[in-house]
Copies of this chain bind each other. A is one copy, B any other.
Amino acid sequence: VTAKTSSASAHRLLDRLEELGSVGATADGGVCRIALSDADREGRNLVRRWMGEIGLEVLVDQIGNIFGRYPIGDDSPAVMIGSHIDSVATGGKFDGNLGVLAGLELAQTFIERKIEFSRPIVVAVFTNEEGVRYSPDMMGSLVFAGGLSLDAALGSVGIDGTRLGSELERIGYRGDLPIGAIPIHAYVELHIEQGPVLEAEGTVIGAVEMVQGISWTECTIQGQSNHAGTTPMRLRRDAAWAACNIADFIHQLAGDMGGTQVGTVGRISLSPNLINVVARQAVFTVDLRNTDDARLSEAEKRFDAYARDLTQKAGMTLETKRLVRLPPVKFDDRIVALVEEASLSLGFSVKRMPSGAGHDAQMLAARCPAGMIFVPSVGGISHNVREFTKPEHIEAGLSVLERVAITLCIQGGPYSALSTL
């Protein structure tokens, strides 16, 4: 990594990542700041305080998204930089927080240097990106972009039986700003990769071209419970075996299809789940992803045909429930090119790549030109206390984000045409 000196201060950003990471900190060094919890309120309060201290105009919309705008009162189309600060139960300090705090750092730098661009800059914190407590995930950005009604979002019932709208009021973040009231010129999100590709290839920056399409299916196989000692193999209807055979097929299928196709069976639950009993029932999930929607559909069809054939021949029943189906989302070609160009001009190796995870940027893409910048995750690990991105990579990502933001903020520059979209 040849880190160039950025105008913005990586040091200050790293300090803020630590401080925000201490809110909801767990004993093992992780972070638990689940959306609309007390810890989330405390994290929001800290970011809102920072926004105020550096001179941003703080706005909170009806779904609790927080916006910090500069210059104050400028409601012309803005360059929005953001992400989320809610976490999973066993989260780390970087996922989401990096995008928000890098935006804050840039805004502070611009203000301190009295730089004024033709376009306002808005730092955005979107509500409930992780979707741990309330479904769907990426909720705040989805509502902001018009993909889900405010009422549906407020009415979402959490896994703890609470209503999102009530919890939003309870923590004091049910704002007045109407949904989508901030006009946007472009949206950029800096995020950790949450995967191993950049590190494995020794690349510093990912210019994210798209978000993979996602297909989640829950399968329930009904066989017959039997004694593991007294039941000859020919008389069995072993639901555990069928599930395992299908999981193995999913692994092979992804390998055979190649390209960006991935396939995962991450959750399996057997009944009665005893050492000496042939399982009566197996419930398991299949996660399929591809950047190409047609290929993703092909994977779904091949998996479905295989699983139905296998269970039918073995005298078992299969029920499938599609839990999630999101088509791939393409980011704006010009922003992808801009990320690539900024990286190269700053001396960082860069790779065009898809995102395998969902991000707020994919929701914003439905509303404005949007793009993402990835920095390496050590070991590809995220949603884990061991989530870590090296300081030099944080600094590199901040530098690229700054370059991209400056270019986007200069009206009349090569990217001014974005605003006509």
Which B residues lie within 8 Å of A235 (CB)? Answer: 196-197, 200, 380
A37 to B362, CA, bound (A): 58
User: Complex: how many Å from CA A212 to CA B289?
Assistant: 46
**Given the complex of chains A and B, what is the CA–CA distance between A251 and B233 in angstroms?**
8
List, in ascending order, chain B residues with CB within 8 A of A244's CB: 243-245, 247-248, 251, 265, 268
Instruction: Please give, as numbers and ranges, the residues of chain B lying within 8 Å of A382 by CB-CB distance.
Output: 227, 230
| Set of chain B residues within 8 Å of A243, measured between Cβ atoms | 244
Please report which residues of chain A, range 221-269, place their CB below 8 angstroms from some CB of chain B when the two chains form the complex. Answer: 224-233, 235, 238, 240-241, 243-245, 247-248, 251, 254-255, 260-269
Inter-chain CA distance A230–B371, complex, in Å, is 17
Q: Is A345 an interface residue (CB 8 A)?
A: no
Of B267, B276, B356, the residue contacting A264 (CB under 8 A) is B276
Task: Judge if A115 is at the interface, Cβ distance under 8 Å.
Answer: no
Shortest C-beta distance, A76 to chain B (Å), equals 36
Within 8 A of B (CB), among A259-305: 260-270, 272-279, 285, 287, 289
Nearest CB in chain B: distance from A291 CB, A: 11
A266 touches B274 (CB 8 A): yes
Within 8 A of B (CB), among A374-419: 379-384
Residue A204 CB within 8 A of the other chain? no
A194 within 8 A of B: yes
With a cutoff of 8 Å between Cβ atoms, the chain B residues found around residue A279 in the complex are 266
Contact B277 A265 (CB under 8 A): no
Known: A225-B381, A241-B251. A275 touches B268 (CB 8 A): no
Among B194, B232, B272, B356, the residue within 8 A (CB) of A262 is: B232
Copies in the complex: 2
A37 to chain B, nearest CB (A): 19
| Contact across chains for B229 and A240 when beta carbons are under 8 A apart | no
User: Which listed residue (B230, B240, B356, B384) contacts A194, Cβ 8 A?
Assistant: B230
> Do A196 and B231 have beta carbons less than 8 Å apart?
yes
Would you call B287 and A229 a contact (CB within 8 A)?
A: yes
A248 to B247, CA, bound (A): 10
Q: A266-B276, A270-B267 are in contact. Are A197 and B232 (CB under 8 A)?
A: yes
Say yes or no: A264 contacts B238, CB within 8 Å. yes
A311 at the interface (CB under 8 A from B): no
Min distance, Cβ A288 to any Cβ of chain B, angstroms: 9
When distances are taken between beta carbons in the complex, the residues of chain B under 8 Å from A287 are: 228-229, 275-276
Q: For chain A residues 316-346, which have a beta carbon within 8 Å of chain B?
A: 323
Collect the chain B residues with CB atoms within 8 Å of residue A267's CB: 270, 273-275
The answer, yes or no, to whether A357 is at the interface (CB within 8 Å) is: yes
Q: Tell me, yes or no, whether A97 is within 8 Å of chain B by CB.
A: no
Q: Can you list 27 A-B pairs, Cβ within 8 angstroms, ordered by A?
A: A195-B229, A195-B231, A195-B232, A196-B232, A197-B232, A214-B229, A227-B356, A227-B357, A228-B262, A228-B289, A229-B287, A229-B357, A230-B356, A230-B380, A233-B262, A240-B266, A241-B247, A244-B247, A245-B248, A245-B251, A248-B248, A266-B270, A266-B273, A267-B274, A269-B273, A276-B287, A277-B383
Q: Which 3 A-B pairs have the closest CB atoms?
A: A195-B230, A229-B356, A230-B356
